[in-house]
Structure 1
Protein backbone atom coordinates (compact mmCIF):
# COMPACT_ATOMS: atom_id res chain seq x y z
CA UNK A 1 0.00 0.00 0.00
CA UNK A 2 1.62 3.25 -1.13
CA UNK A 3 0.35 6.64 -0.07
CA UNK A 4 0.26 9.42 -2.64
CA UNK A 5 2.49 11.55 -0.42
CA UNK A 6 5.22 8.91 -0.31
CA UNK A 7 5.15 6.74 2.85
CA UNK A 8 4.81 3.02 2.19
CA UNK A 9 3.12 0.47 4.45
CA UNK A 10 5.34 -2.62 4.52
CA UNK A 11 4.64 -6.09 5.90
CA UNK A 12 6.99 -7.06 8.79
CA UNK A 13 5.23 -10.15 10.21
CA UNK A 14 1.84 -11.87 10.07
CA UNK A 15 0.29 -9.41 12.52
CA UNK A 16 2.42 -6.30 11.92
CA UNK A 17 3.26 -3.75 9.28
CA UNK A 18 5.40 -0.64 9.47
CA UNK A 19 5.98 2.72 7.85
CA UNK A 20 9.56 3.95 7.79
CA UNK A 21 9.82 7.51 9.10
CA UNK A 22 11.86 10.02 7.07
CA UNK A 23 14.52 10.54 9.75
CA UNK A 24 17.63 8.58 8.68
CA UNK A 25 20.93 9.30 10.39
CA UNK A 26 23.99 7.79 12.06
CA UNK A 27 21.99 7.09 15.22
CA UNK A 28 18.63 6.17 13.66
CA UNK A 29 19.97 4.06 10.76
CA UNK A 30 17.40 4.13 7.92
CA UNK A 31 14.87 5.91 10.14
CA UNK A 32 12.31 4.93 12.77
CA UNK A 33 10.09 1.93 12.01
CA UNK A 34 6.59 2.98 13.08
CA UNK A 35 4.65 -0.27 13.51
CA UNK A 36 0.95 -0.95 13.01
CA UNK A 37 -0.44 -4.02 14.79
CA UNK A 38 -3.78 -5.69 14.07
CA UNK A 39 -5.41 -9.10 13.99
CA UNK A 40 -6.66 -10.38 10.62
CA UNK A 41 -10.06 -8.92 9.80
CA UNK A 42 -9.81 -6.06 12.29
CA UNK A 43 -10.09 -2.48 11.07
CA UNK A 44 -8.58 -1.00 14.23
CA UNK A 45 -4.82 -0.83 14.75
CA UNK A 46 -2.25 -0.22 17.46
CA UNK A 47 0.60 2.12 16.51
CA UNK A 48 3.99 1.56 18.14
CA UNK A 49 6.53 4.42 18.03
CA UNK A 50 4.89 7.19 15.97
CA UNK A 51 8.35 8.63 15.29
CA UNK A 52 9.22 12.24 14.52
CA UNK A 53 6.75 15.08 14.21
CA UNK A 54 6.51 14.80 10.43
CA UNK A 55 3.02 15.59 9.14
CA UNK A 56 3.20 13.34 6.08
CA UNK A 57 4.40 10.38 8.12
CA UNK A 58 1.82 10.87 10.87
CA UNK A 59 -0.99 11.32 8.35
CA UNK A 60 -0.01 8.00 6.76
CA UNK A 61 -0.15 6.27 10.15
CA UNK A 62 -3.55 7.80 10.86
CA UNK A 63 -4.86 6.68 7.47
CA UNK A 64 -3.71 3.06 7.84
CA UNK A 65 -6.66 2.09 10.04
CA UNK A 66 -8.78 3.18 12.98
CA UNK A 67 -6.03 3.85 15.52
CA UNK A 68 -7.19 2.41 18.85
CA UNK A 69 -4.01 2.79 20.91
CA UNK A 70 -0.55 4.34 20.57
CA UNK A 71 2.42 2.77 22.38
CA UNK A 72 5.98 4.05 22.67
CA UNK A 73 9.03 1.97 23.49
CA UNK A 74 11.01 4.76 25.20
CA UNK A 75 11.38 8.49 25.57
CA UNK A 76 13.74 9.47 22.74
CA UNK A 77 12.36 12.02 20.32
CA UNK A 78 12.78 9.85 17.22
CA UNK A 79 10.12 7.62 18.81
CA UNK A 80 7.92 10.06 20.73
CA UNK A 81 7.99 13.49 19.07
CA UNK A 82 4.96 12.69 16.90
CA UNK A 83 2.94 11.03 19.66
CA UNK A 84 0.94 14.07 20.74
CA UNK A 85 0.12 15.00 17.17
CA UNK A 86 -0.96 11.44 16.29
CA UNK A 87 -3.21 11.49 19.34
CA UNK A 88 -4.69 14.72 18.03
CA UNK A 89 -5.27 13.20 14.59
CA UNK A 90 -6.84 9.98 15.85
CA UNK A 91 -8.06 10.52 19.42
CA UNK A 92 -6.18 7.38 20.49
CA UNK A 93 -4.48 7.46 23.91
CA UNK A 94 -0.69 7.30 24.07
CA UNK A 95 0.90 4.99 26.64
CA UNK A 96 4.54 4.73 27.69
CA UNK A 97 6.48 3.58 30.74
CA UNK A 98 7.10 7.23 31.64
CA UNK A 99 3.97 9.26 32.40
CA UNK A 100 5.61 12.30 30.78
CA UNK A 101 5.13 10.63 27.39
CA UNK A 102 1.51 9.57 27.90
CA UNK A 103 -1.25 11.60 26.21
CA UNK A 104 -5.02 11.59 26.03
CA UNK A 105 -5.59 9.88 29.35
CA UNK A 106 -3.24 7.00 28.60
CA UNK A 107 -1.91 5.39 31.77
CA UNK A 108 1.77 4.49 32.23
CA UNK A 109 2.66 0.98 31.13
CA UNK A 110 3.55 -1.68 33.69
CA UNK A 111 5.91 -4.62 33.35
CA UNK A 112 4.00 -7.83 32.65
CA UNK A 113 0.81 -5.97 31.76
CA UNK A 114 -1.46 -7.72 29.27
CA UNK A 115 -3.04 -5.38 26.72
CA UNK A 116 -5.94 -6.42 24.49
CA UNK A 117 -6.32 -4.11 21.49
CA UNK A 118 -6.98 -4.41 17.73
CA UNK A 119 -7.87 -8.06 18.31
CA UNK A 120 -4.41 -8.83 19.70
CA UNK A 121 -2.86 -9.86 22.99
CA UNK A 122 0.19 -7.69 23.71
CA UNK A 123 2.44 -8.24 26.74
CA UNK A 124 4.48 -5.33 28.08
CA UNK A 125 8.07 -6.06 29.06
CA UNK A 126 10.12 -3.47 30.95
CA UNK A 127 13.61 -3.66 29.44
CA UNK A 128 15.69 -0.84 30.95
CA UNK A 129 19.28 -0.35 29.85
CA UNK A 130 19.24 1.68 26.65
CA UNK A 131 17.15 4.09 28.71
CA UNK A 132 15.56 3.64 32.12
CA UNK A 133 12.07 3.68 30.57
CA UNK A 134 12.70 1.26 27.70
CA UNK A 135 9.98 -1.32 27.01
CA UNK A 136 9.40 -4.13 24.53
CA UNK A 137 6.07 -5.56 23.35
CA UNK A 138 5.55 -9.30 22.96
CA UNK A 139 3.01 -10.66 20.46
CA UNK A 140 2.85 -14.37 21.33
CA UNK A 141 0.40 -15.21 18.51
CA UNK A 142 2.46 -13.56 15.76
CA UNK A 143 3.62 -16.59 13.79
CA UNK A 144 5.06 -19.87 15.02
CA UNK A 145 7.40 -18.32 17.59
CA UNK A 146 5.69 -15.01 18.24
CA UNK A 147 7.35 -11.65 17.78
CA UNK A 148 8.78 -8.88 19.96
CA UNK A 149 8.86 -5.17 19.18
CA UNK A 150 12.22 -4.35 20.71
CA UNK A 151 12.48 -0.57 20.30
CA UNK A 152 16.16 0.33 20.65
CA UNK A 153 16.92 -2.47 23.11
CA UNK A 154 17.75 -4.72 20.15
CA UNK A 155 18.37 -3.10 16.77
CA UNK A 156 18.11 -4.61 13.32
CA UNK A 157 21.72 -3.71 12.59
CA UNK A 158 24.66 -3.02 14.89
CA UNK A 159 24.32 -2.73 18.67
CA UNK A 160 22.53 -0.19 20.80
CA UNK A 161 23.98 2.70 22.78
CA UNK A 162 23.54 2.73 26.55
CA UNK A 163 22.27 6.25 27.16
CA UNK A 164 24.28 6.80 30.33
CA UNK A 165 23.61 7.95 32.98
CA UNK A 166 19.91 7.24 32.33
CA UNK A 167 20.77 3.87 30.79
CA UNK A 168 22.81 1.35 32.77
CA UNK A 169 24.73 -1.73 31.72
CA UNK A 170 23.61 -3.88 34.65
CA UNK A 171 19.98 -3.17 33.77
CA UNK A 172 20.68 -3.86 30.12
CA UNK A 173 22.24 -7.26 30.76
CA UNK A 174 19.25 -8.24 32.91
CA UNK A 175 16.92 -7.11 30.12
CA UNK A 176 18.82 -9.26 27.62
CA UNK A 177 18.30 -12.25 29.93
CA UNK A 178 14.56 -11.59 29.97
CA UNK A 179 14.39 -11.31 26.20
CA UNK A 180 16.45 -14.45 25.59
CA UNK A 181 13.84 -16.41 27.54
CA UNK A 182 11.33 -15.64 24.75
CA UNK A 183 13.20 -17.99 22.43
CA UNK A 184 13.17 -17.76 18.65
CA UNK A 185 10.65 -14.92 18.44
CA UNK A 186 10.86 -12.62 15.42
CA UNK A 187 12.67 -9.37 16.22
CA UNK A 188 10.81 -6.23 15.16
CA UNK A 189 13.29 -3.43 15.90
CA UNK A 190 12.63 0.31 15.86
CA UNK A 191 15.61 0.80 13.54
CA UNK A 192 16.92 -1.54 10.86
CA UNK A 193 15.55 -4.75 9.34
CA UNK A 194 13.44 -7.50 10.89
CA UNK A 195 15.54 -10.33 12.35
CA UNK A 196 14.60 -14.02 12.70
CA UNK A 197 15.51 -15.18 16.22
CA UNK A 198 15.51 -13.07 19.37
CA UNK A 199 17.44 -15.58 21.48
CA UNK A 200 20.22 -15.81 18.87
CA UNK A 201 20.52 -12.04 18.53
CA UNK A 202 20.54 -11.59 22.31
CA UNK A 203 23.38 -14.10 22.65
CA UNK A 204 25.35 -12.12 20.05
CA UNK A 205 24.62 -8.89 21.92
CA UNK A 206 25.80 -10.36 25.22
CA UNK A 207 29.00 -11.68 23.61
CA UNK A 208 29.64 -8.23 22.16
CA UNK A 209 29.19 -6.61 25.59
CA UNK A 210 31.56 -9.10 27.21
CA UNK A 211 34.17 -8.39 24.53
CA UNK A 212 33.85 -4.64 25.07
CA UNK A 213 34.17 -5.06 28.82
CA UNK A 214 37.33 -7.14 28.31
CA UNK A 215 38.76 -4.39 26.09
CA UNK A 216 38.00 -1.74 28.69
CA UNK A 217 39.51 -3.81 31.48
CA UNK A 218 42.68 -4.13 29.40
CA UNK A 219 42.80 -0.36 28.81
CA UNK A 220 42.32 0.31 32.53
CA UNK A 221 45.15 -2.13 33.19
CA UNK A 222 47.42 0.01 31.01
CA UNK A 223 46.19 3.49 31.90
CA UNK A 224 45.11 2.96 35.47
CA UNK A 225 41.72 2.61 37.12
CA UNK A 226 41.17 6.38 37.08
CA UNK A 227 41.45 6.72 33.28
CA UNK A 228 38.90 9.17 31.88
CA UNK A 229 36.00 8.35 29.58
CA UNK A 230 37.75 10.17 26.74
CA UNK A 231 41.00 8.26 27.22
CA UNK A 232 39.19 4.91 27.23
CA UNK A 233 37.08 5.87 24.20
CA UNK A 234 40.24 6.86 22.32
CA UNK A 235 41.61 3.37 22.89
CA UNK A 236 38.48 1.25 22.44
CA UNK A 237 36.56 3.24 19.80
CA UNK A 238 39.46 4.65 17.80
CA UNK A 239 37.75 3.69 14.53
CA UNK A 240 34.44 5.54 15.04
CA UNK A 241 33.69 8.79 13.24
CA UNK A 242 32.88 12.14 14.85
CA UNK A 243 29.14 11.71 14.22
CA UNK A 244 28.97 8.86 16.74
CA UNK A 245 31.83 9.83 19.05
CA UNK A 246 29.50 11.16 21.73
CA UNK A 247 27.52 7.93 21.64
CA UNK A 248 30.74 5.94 22.02
CA UNK A 249 31.71 7.99 25.07
CA UNK A 250 28.28 7.40 26.57
CA UNK A 251 28.66 3.65 26.20
CA UNK A 252 32.17 3.83 27.69
CA UNK A 253 30.81 5.75 30.67
CA UNK A 254 28.13 3.10 31.20
CA UNK A 255 30.68 0.31 31.07
CA UNK A 256 33.11 2.09 33.40
CA UNK A 257 30.28 2.65 35.87
CA UNK A 258 29.45 -1.05 35.71
CA UNK A 259 33.05 -2.14 36.23
CA UNK A 260 33.60 0.34 39.05
CA UNK A 261 30.35 -0.57 40.77
CA UNK A 262 28.95 2.96 40.52
CA UNK A 263 25.25 3.77 40.49
CA UNK A 264 23.50 6.78 39.09
CA UNK A 265 20.79 7.82 36.74
CA UNK A 266 19.99 10.96 34.83
CA UNK A 267 19.03 12.24 31.41
CA UNK A 268 20.68 12.12 28.00
CA UNK A 269 19.52 11.60 24.41
CA UNK A 270 19.15 9.49 21.21
CA UNK A 271 19.22 5.90 19.93
CA UNK A 272 22.47 4.58 18.56
CA UNK A 273 24.49 1.79 17.02
CA UNK A 274 27.75 2.08 18.96
CA UNK A 275 28.07 -0.33 21.86
Structure 2
Protein backbone atom coordinates (compact mmCIF):
# COMPACT_ATOMS: atom_id res chain seq x y z
CA UNK A 1 0.00 0.00 0.00
CA UNK A 2 2.42 2.62 -1.15
CA UNK A 3 3.30 4.62 -4.20
CA UNK A 4 5.25 3.22 -7.12
CA UNK A 5 8.93 2.88 -6.24
CA UNK A 6 12.09 2.58 -8.24
CA UNK A 7 14.22 -0.55 -8.31
CA UNK A 8 16.29 -2.81 -10.53
CA UNK A 9 15.37 -2.72 -14.19
CA UNK A 10 13.82 -5.69 -15.97
CA UNK A 11 16.24 -8.59 -16.15
CA UNK A 12 18.83 -7.10 -13.80
CA UNK A 13 21.03 -9.42 -11.68
CA UNK A 14 20.43 -8.57 -8.01
CA UNK A 15 22.75 -11.16 -6.45
CA UNK A 16 25.26 -13.76 -7.58
CA UNK A 17 22.43 -16.22 -8.18
CA UNK A 18 19.28 -14.14 -8.69
CA UNK A 19 17.98 -12.05 -11.59
CA UNK A 20 14.90 -9.86 -11.25
CA UNK A 21 12.44 -9.79 -14.14
CA UNK A 22 9.69 -7.28 -13.33
CA UNK A 23 6.21 -7.86 -14.73
CA UNK A 24 4.43 -5.04 -16.58
CA UNK A 25 1.60 -4.75 -14.04
CA UNK A 26 2.30 -1.58 -12.03
CA UNK A 27 -0.40 -0.22 -9.74
CA UNK A 28 -1.26 0.97 -6.23
CA UNK A 29 -0.99 -2.55 -4.83
CA UNK A 30 1.88 -3.84 -6.98
CA UNK A 31 4.22 -0.82 -6.91
CA UNK A 32 6.36 -1.05 -10.08
CA UNK A 33 4.94 -4.49 -10.84
CA UNK A 34 5.37 -8.04 -9.62
CA UNK A 35 8.98 -9.14 -9.16
CA UNK A 36 9.63 -12.51 -10.75
CA UNK A 37 13.04 -14.01 -9.98
CA UNK A 38 15.24 -16.38 -11.97
CA UNK A 39 17.63 -18.33 -9.74
CA UNK A 40 20.67 -20.41 -10.73
CA UNK A 41 24.16 -21.08 -9.46
CA UNK A 42 26.95 -19.72 -11.67
CA UNK A 43 27.54 -22.19 -14.48
CA UNK A 44 24.32 -24.14 -13.89
CA UNK A 45 22.44 -25.04 -17.04
CA UNK A 46 18.96 -24.98 -15.54
CA UNK A 47 17.18 -22.40 -13.41
CA UNK A 48 14.35 -21.88 -10.94
CA UNK A 49 11.65 -19.27 -11.51
CA UNK A 50 9.92 -17.78 -8.47
CA UNK A 51 6.48 -16.20 -8.99
CA UNK A 52 5.89 -16.13 -12.76
CA UNK A 53 3.42 -13.34 -12.12
CA UNK A 54 0.54 -12.21 -14.38
CA UNK A 55 -0.57 -14.04 -17.51
CA UNK A 56 1.37 -11.69 -19.77
CA UNK A 57 2.80 -13.38 -22.86
CA UNK A 58 5.84 -11.12 -23.15
CA UNK A 59 6.77 -11.39 -19.49
CA UNK A 60 6.44 -15.17 -19.46
CA UNK A 61 8.49 -15.43 -22.64
CA UNK A 62 11.31 -13.44 -21.03
CA UNK A 63 11.29 -15.79 -18.06
CA UNK A 64 11.24 -18.88 -20.27
CA UNK A 65 14.16 -17.54 -22.32
CA UNK A 66 16.39 -17.90 -19.25
CA UNK A 67 15.69 -21.67 -19.19
CA UNK A 68 15.69 -24.53 -19.21
CA UNK A 69 13.41 -24.06 -16.20
CA UNK A 70 13.77 -26.93 -13.77
CA UNK A 71 11.25 -25.76 -11.17
CA UNK A 72 8.69 -23.03 -10.51
CA UNK A 73 8.20 -21.85 -6.93
CA UNK A 74 5.31 -19.72 -5.68
CA UNK A 75 5.41 -17.43 -2.63
CA UNK A 76 1.61 -17.20 -2.22
CA UNK A 77 -1.60 -17.52 -4.20
CA UNK A 78 -2.46 -13.91 -5.11
CA UNK A 79 -3.16 -13.50 -8.80
CA UNK A 80 -0.45 -10.94 -9.48
CA UNK A 81 2.05 -13.68 -8.55
CA UNK A 82 0.28 -16.74 -9.96
CA UNK A 83 -2.04 -15.83 -12.83
CA UNK A 84 0.57 -16.89 -15.38
CA UNK A 85 1.62 -20.12 -13.62
CA UNK A 86 -0.41 -22.57 -15.70
CA UNK A 87 0.67 -21.07 -19.02
CA UNK A 88 4.28 -20.85 -17.90
CA UNK A 89 4.31 -24.47 -16.73
CA UNK A 90 2.93 -25.53 -20.11
CA UNK A 91 5.58 -23.47 -21.90
CA UNK A 92 8.48 -24.93 -19.92
CA UNK A 93 7.28 -28.37 -18.77
CA UNK A 94 8.49 -27.36 -15.31
CA UNK A 95 6.79 -28.61 -12.14
CA UNK A 96 5.20 -26.02 -9.84
CA UNK A 97 5.44 -26.07 -6.06
CA UNK A 98 3.70 -23.94 -3.43
CA UNK A 99 2.41 -24.29 0.12
CA UNK A 100 -1.13 -24.42 -1.29
CA UNK A 101 -1.44 -27.77 -3.05
CA UNK A 102 -4.06 -26.32 -5.40
CA UNK A 103 -1.28 -24.36 -7.10
CA UNK A 104 1.03 -27.36 -7.47
CA UNK A 105 1.53 -28.98 -10.87
CA UNK A 106 3.41 -32.25 -11.18
CA UNK A 107 5.01 -31.96 -7.73
CA UNK A 108 4.03 -32.08 -4.05
CA UNK A 109 3.34 -29.00 -1.92
CA UNK A 110 6.17 -27.29 -0.09
CA UNK A 111 6.84 -27.97 3.58
CA UNK A 112 8.38 -25.69 6.18
CA UNK A 113 12.17 -26.05 6.61
CA UNK A 114 12.43 -28.20 3.48
CA UNK A 115 15.65 -27.81 1.51
CA UNK A 116 15.37 -28.04 -2.25
CA UNK A 117 18.46 -28.86 -4.32
CA UNK A 118 17.98 -27.52 -7.83
CA UNK A 119 19.87 -25.48 -10.44
CA UNK A 120 23.08 -25.85 -8.43
CA UNK A 121 21.47 -24.25 -5.37
CA UNK A 122 20.08 -25.36 -2.04
CA UNK A 123 16.94 -23.36 -1.33
CA UNK A 124 15.42 -23.43 2.16
CA UNK A 125 11.65 -23.10 2.55
CA UNK A 126 10.44 -20.89 5.40
CA UNK A 127 6.67 -20.80 5.98
CA UNK A 128 5.64 -17.23 6.85
CA UNK A 129 1.84 -17.10 7.17
CA UNK A 130 0.19 -13.77 7.82
CA UNK A 131 -0.14 -11.78 4.61
CA UNK A 132 -1.93 -14.92 3.42
CA UNK A 133 -2.23 -18.32 5.04
CA UNK A 134 0.01 -19.87 2.36
CA UNK A 135 2.78 -17.22 2.32
CA UNK A 136 6.29 -18.63 2.16
CA UNK A 137 9.82 -17.26 1.83
CA UNK A 138 12.84 -18.86 0.17
CA UNK A 139 16.32 -18.59 1.68
CA UNK A 140 19.45 -18.82 -0.44
CA UNK A 141 22.19 -19.80 2.04
CA UNK A 142 25.64 -18.27 1.91
CA UNK A 143 28.13 -20.18 -0.20
CA UNK A 144 31.65 -18.79 -0.31
CA UNK A 145 32.58 -20.98 -3.27
CA UNK A 146 29.76 -19.41 -5.28
CA UNK A 147 30.31 -15.94 -3.89
CA UNK A 148 26.74 -15.92 -2.57
CA UNK A 149 25.67 -13.62 0.23
CA UNK A 150 22.66 -14.82 2.24
CA UNK A 151 19.48 -13.71 0.49
CA UNK A 152 15.78 -14.30 1.04
CA UNK A 153 12.86 -14.05 -1.37
CA UNK A 154 9.96 -12.69 0.64
CA UNK A 155 7.01 -12.43 -1.75
CA UNK A 156 4.55 -10.00 -0.17
CA UNK A 157 5.54 -10.81 3.41
CA UNK A 158 8.07 -7.98 3.10
CA UNK A 159 7.91 -5.39 0.32
CA UNK A 160 10.69 -3.27 -1.09
CA UNK A 161 8.87 -0.12 -0.05
CA UNK A 162 5.97 0.55 2.28
CA UNK A 163 4.27 -2.20 4.26
CA UNK A 164 2.16 -5.13 3.21
CA UNK A 165 -1.49 -5.76 3.99
CA UNK A 166 -2.97 -8.59 6.02
CA UNK A 167 -5.43 -10.20 3.62
CA UNK A 168 -8.22 -10.92 6.08
CA UNK A 169 -9.83 -13.42 6.35
CA UNK A 170 -7.16 -15.50 4.59
CA UNK A 171 -4.34 -13.72 6.36
CA UNK A 172 -4.10 -12.98 10.09
CA UNK A 173 -2.11 -10.53 12.19
CA UNK A 174 -0.98 -12.92 14.95
CA UNK A 175 0.73 -15.33 12.54
CA UNK A 176 2.16 -12.37 10.61
CA UNK A 177 3.84 -10.93 13.71
CA UNK A 178 5.28 -14.38 14.47
CA UNK A 179 6.56 -14.64 10.89
CA UNK A 180 8.30 -11.27 11.18
CA UNK A 181 9.95 -12.37 14.42
CA UNK A 182 11.11 -15.56 12.74
CA UNK A 183 12.55 -13.67 9.80
CA UNK A 184 14.27 -11.18 12.09
CA UNK A 185 16.01 -14.08 13.82
CA UNK A 186 17.25 -15.37 10.45
CA UNK A 187 18.97 -12.05 9.85
CA UNK A 188 20.28 -11.50 13.37
CA UNK A 189 23.87 -12.66 12.85
CA UNK A 190 24.71 -10.95 9.55
CA UNK A 191 22.89 -8.83 6.97
CA UNK A 192 20.60 -10.85 4.71
CA UNK A 193 19.63 -9.44 1.32
CA UNK A 194 15.85 -9.10 0.85
CA UNK A 195 14.43 -9.88 -2.59
CA UNK A 196 10.78 -8.78 -2.27
CA UNK A 197 7.75 -9.52 -4.40
CA UNK A 198 7.34 -5.82 -5.22
CA UNK A 199 9.67 -2.83 -5.11
CA UNK A 200 13.44 -2.58 -4.79
CA UNK A 201 15.87 -5.01 -3.17
CA UNK A 202 16.66 -4.22 0.49
CA UNK A 203 20.07 -4.76 2.14
CA UNK A 204 19.20 -5.94 5.67
CA UNK A 205 16.44 -8.39 6.65
CA UNK A 206 16.66 -7.79 10.41
CA UNK A 207 16.50 -4.02 9.96
CA UNK A 208 13.39 -4.14 7.82
CA UNK A 209 11.74 -6.64 10.19
CA UNK A 210 12.36 -4.23 13.06
CA UNK A 211 10.75 -1.45 11.04
CA UNK A 212 7.77 -3.63 10.12
CA UNK A 213 7.24 -4.73 13.73
CA UNK A 214 7.42 -1.13 14.92
CA UNK A 215 4.90 -0.11 12.25
CA UNK A 216 2.52 -2.88 13.30
CA UNK A 217 2.81 -1.89 16.96
CA UNK A 218 2.01 1.72 16.02
CA UNK A 219 -1.01 0.65 13.95
CA UNK A 220 -2.31 -1.52 16.78
CA UNK A 221 -2.15 1.46 19.15
CA UNK A 222 -3.98 3.57 16.55
CA UNK A 223 -6.72 0.93 16.34
CA UNK A 224 -6.98 0.85 20.13
CA UNK A 225 -7.30 4.65 20.17
CA UNK A 226 -9.96 4.51 17.47
CA UNK A 227 -11.97 1.98 19.46
CA UNK A 228 -11.68 4.16 22.55
CA UNK A 229 -13.09 7.07 20.54
CA UNK A 230 -15.70 5.21 18.50
CA UNK A 231 -16.66 2.45 20.90
CA UNK A 232 -15.55 -1.15 21.31
CA UNK A 233 -18.05 -2.40 18.72
CA UNK A 234 -17.11 0.14 16.04
CA UNK A 235 -17.39 -1.09 12.47
CA UNK A 236 -14.46 -1.84 10.22
CA UNK A 237 -15.49 1.03 7.94
CA UNK A 238 -15.61 3.54 10.79
CA UNK A 239 -12.21 2.51 12.12
CA UNK A 240 -10.73 2.61 8.62
CA UNK A 241 -12.09 6.12 8.11
CA UNK A 242 -10.29 7.27 11.24
CA UNK A 243 -7.01 5.34 11.08
CA UNK A 244 -6.41 5.26 7.32
CA UNK A 245 -7.79 8.69 6.47
CA UNK A 246 -4.62 9.52 4.52
CA UNK A 247 -4.88 6.53 2.16
CA UNK A 248 -5.99 6.91 -1.44
CA UNK A 249 -9.38 5.47 -2.40
CA UNK A 250 -7.63 3.01 -4.72
CA UNK A 251 -6.34 1.07 -1.70
CA UNK A 252 -9.46 1.41 0.45
CA UNK A 253 -10.32 -2.30 0.26
CA UNK A 254 -6.79 -3.22 1.31
CA UNK A 255 -6.97 -0.79 4.24
CA UNK A 256 -10.24 -2.34 5.36
CA UNK A 257 -8.72 -5.83 5.14
CA UNK A 258 -5.87 -4.74 7.41
CA UNK A 259 -8.29 -3.12 9.86
CA UNK A 260 -10.40 -6.28 10.01
CA UNK A 261 -7.27 -8.30 10.75
CA UNK A 262 -6.21 -5.91 13.49
CA UNK A 263 -9.68 -5.88 15.03
CA UNK A 264 -9.74 -9.69 15.06
CA UNK A 265 -6.33 -9.67 16.73
CA UNK A 266 -7.36 -7.17 19.41
CA UNK A 267 -10.68 -8.90 20.01
CA UNK A 268 -8.97 -12.27 20.36
CA UNK A 269 -10.67 -13.90 17.39
CA UNK A 270 -7.55 -14.42 15.25
Instruction: Structure 1: state its 5+ residue gaps.
Output: 1-6, 264-275
In structure 1, C-alpha distance between the alignment counterparts of 2:19 and 2:232, rounded to whole Å = 48
SS of alignment partner, residue 111 of structure 1 = coil
Q: What RMSD, in angstroms, separates the aligned Cα atoms of the two structures? A: 1.1
1:192 is aligned to 2:199: yes
In structure 2, C-alpha distance between the alignment counterparts of 1:77 and 1:141, rounded to whole Å = 31
Which one of the candidate residues 139, 153, 159 is aligned to 2:157?
153
1:107 is aligned to 2:108: yes
In structure 2, C-alpha distance between the alignment counterparts of 1:133 and 1:8, rounded to whole Å = 27
Which one of the candidate residues 52, 55, 58 is aligned to 1:56?
58
SS of alignment partner, residue 14 of structure 2 = strand
1:183-215 deviations in whole A, cap 9, x for unaligned?
121000010000000000000000000000001
1:168 is aligned to 2:175: no
In structure 2, C-alpha distance between the alignment counterparts of 1:149 and 1:123, rounded to whole Å = 10
How many residues align? The count is 256
Which one of the candidate residues 202, 222, 227 is aligned to 2:234?
227
Q: How does 1:37-56 map to 2 (within 5 A)?
A: 37-56=39-58
Which one of the candidate residues 241, 246, 255 is aligned to 1:248?
255
SS of alignment partner, residue 125 of structure 2 = strand
In structure 1, C-alpha distance between the alignment counterparts of 2:10 and 2:174, rounded to whole Å = 38
Conservation of the 8 A alpha-carbon contact between 2:15 and 2:148: no
In structure 2, C-alpha distance between the alignment counterparts of 1:181 and 1:77, rounded to whole Å = 30
Q: How does 1:1-275 map to 2 (within 5 A)?
A: 8-103=10-105, 105-141=106-142, 145-183=149-187, 184-263=191-270
Instruction: Structure 2: state its 5+ residue gaps.
Output: 1-8
Find the counterpart in structure 1 of residue 3 from structure 2: none
Report the TM-score, using the length of structure 1 for normalisation.
0.91
In structure 1, C-alpha distance between the alignment counterparts of 2:168 and 2:107, rounded to whole Å = 28
1:86-132 deviations in whole A, cap 9, x for unaligned?
110110000000011111x1210000000000000100000000000
Conservation of the 8 A alpha-carbon contact between 2:130 and 2:179: yes
In structure 1, C-alpha distance between the alignment counterparts of 2:103 and 2:247, rounded to whole Å = 32
- Report the CA distance between 1:8 and its aligned residue: 3.7
